[in-house]
Structure 1
Amino acid sequence: MKAVLEFLKDLEQNNNRDWFALNKNRYEDAKAQHEALVTDILARVAKWDSSIADLQAKDCTYRIYRDVRFSKDKSPYKTTMGALVGKGGRKAQGAINYVHIEPGKSFVAGGSYMPESAGLKAIRQEIDYNLDEFLGIINAPAFVKHFGALEAEWKGKLPPKGYAADNPAIEWLKYKSYIGTQQFTDKQIIASDFAAKADETLQLLKPFNDFINRALRTEE
């Protein structure tokens, strides 16, 4: 994975088509290494999540080319590599697992990112009805050790409509996304055991994702 990080670092400094064309071989090598990593992670996860048994790396990874049609940033290429590791791959619904590779900013995360209104309402209701279970998941020592608190940037300031300010669950109902994230250093990314570490992280996220998916199935 060292070649992946080095390529992405250089691409960030030279995000133009001429440079990319001259370094196409480096990109192909980085892409192959990333897909090999994702394949390894998928094989490990499939041992405890049979729903992804038929997934391949190509089902989970993204094109490097940016859609710049409606963006002020016209940089043609993404400077990250990522993979959705879950049933459906990139087309996964509900709570998802995401492995993000970016120099100095890599992470493994799980949960529900900006769900639609009905989905968010269902998650909040599940937390309201089953607060003790939810707190048991996010306050479990292993969860806290790896993920700390939920991503606070997704927390609103006011109680959502329909919930009183003194609701025991109110601080958890203010979130608009429910995400647990574990950061990884570049040194950890290039280590030979990163796929195993990513798998361990994803296993720890399973109760959290299961709770969210139960809420979303109820909403359906």
Structure 2
Amino acid sequence: MPLSNELLSFLKELKKNNNRDWFNEQKPRFQEIQSEAKGFYEDIKQGLLQFDEIENFKMFRIYRDVRFSKDKTPYKPHFAGSFSRSGKRLRGGYYLRIRPGESFLAGGFWEPNKEDLFRIRKEFEINDAEIRDILKAPDFKKVFGGQLEGQELKTAPKGFQKEHPAIDLIRKKGFIAVRNFSDKEILSPDFLQEVLFSFQTLRPFFDYMSEVLTTDLNGVSTVD
């Protein structure tokens, strides 16, 4: 089932009326829309299982944790969910946020731990040809613009040369592919298929990264 215009309308209204009194009055309406969103994310999970191994699915709560934030609005005017690939063997995950005017999906490695980040950087230092080919593939360029996003250092990390040809990749602290969606695309009957096609396009990238993160620099497996 495609997402309803009512879902986006509610989120737009929530953004304008981000307070507990308004939300409590709209609670029955929210529960219906939340049920619709959960169903859509469940459809994504079932689709992902056709071409990947998903260990965990999490749909994030609409309630914000305002304890350490300057923004004290109590609700997130969006729905979001993540899908984690199976454990130490595969790594990485998928993500989708539905927010009027600011919807996007992403996949990859948000904050690799220190050991994983070093291993990835060393792989790029030794040979960046394979990852370049993956990023230049026609479908990856069409869906994700042929590039990875994520925070990066201003200079080379310690132990790496700043003149290295792969320094644009080595400087990164995360490795994420992102696709943005308009509200019209969100409401399209084909939106679910577009989400799944986008995620499936990430498989060569994930396959490469899974191999890197489960082998040492000599190609010997590091997992049981």
TM-score past 0.5 threshold = yes
Partner of 1:134: 131
- Contact 1:15–1:75 (8 Å) recurs in 2: yes
User: Residue 85 of structure 2: SS of its match in structure 1?
Assistant: coil
Residue 215 in structure 1 maps to residue 209 in structure 2: no
Partner of 1:75: 73
1:128 Cα offset (Å): 2.2
Output aligned runs, 1:89-100, within 5 Å.
94-100=91-97
Name stretches of at least 5 consecutive residues in structure 1 with no aligned partner: none
Partner of 1:195: 192
Cα distance between partner residues in 1 of 2:67 and 2:160: 40
CA offsets 1:179-220 (integer angstroms, 9 cap, x no match): 111111111111111111100000001121232333333476
TM-score by length of 1: 0.88
Correspondent of 1:46 among 44, 49, 53? 49
1:166 Cα offset (Å): 2.6
Residue 186 in structure 1 maps to residue 189 in structure 2: no
Residue 5 in structure 1 maps to residue 8 in structure 2: yes
User: Residue 154 of structure 1: SS of its match in structure 2?
Assistant: coil
Cα distance between partner residues in 1 of 2:91 and 2:201: 17
Partner of 2:219: none
Cα distance between partner residues in 2 of 1:61 and 1:213: 24
- Contact 2:148–2:175 (8 Å) recurs in 1: yes
User: Residue 75 of structure 2: SS of its match in structure 1?
Assistant: coil
1:171 Cα offset (Å): 1.6
* Greater shift in the superposed pair: 157-166 or 13-22: 157-166
Please tell me the residue identity of whatever aligns with 2:11. Answer: L
Cα distance between partner residues in 2 of 1:40 and 1:28: 18
User: Residue 214 of structure 2: SS of its match in structure 1?
Assistant: helix
Partner of 1:85: 83
- Contact 1:146–1:201 (8 Å) recurs in 2: yes
User: Residue 138 of structure 1: SS of its match in structure 2?
Assistant: helix
- Contact 1:11–1:79 (8 Å) recurs in 2: yes
TM-score by length of 2: 0.86
Give the structure with the higher percent helix: 1
Cα distance between partner residues in 1 of 2:119 and 2:150: 21
Residue 27 in structure 1 maps to residue 43 in structure 2: no
1:153 Cα offset (Å): 5.7
Cα distance between partner residues in 1 of 2:28 and 2:213: 43
User: Residue 9 of structure 1: SS of its match in structure 2?
Assistant: helix
Report runs of 4+ in structure 1 exceeding 6 Å deviation.
none
Partner of 1:60: 58
What percent of counterpart residues are identical? 37
1:151 Cα offset (Å): 4.8
Correspondent of 2:21 among 18, 37, 43? 18
- Contact 1:150–1:178 (8 Å) recurs in 2: no
CA offsets 1:61-103 (integer angstroms, 9 cap, x no match): 01111111111211111111111123369xxx94211011111
CA offsets 1:21-79 (integer angstroms, 9 cap, x no match): 00112211221111111121112111112x23x86xxx420111111111121111111
Backbone CA RMSD of aligned residues = 2.1
Cα distance between partner residues in 2 of 1:209 and 1:168: 23
Name stretches of at least 5 consecutive residues in structure 2 with no aligned partner: 217-221
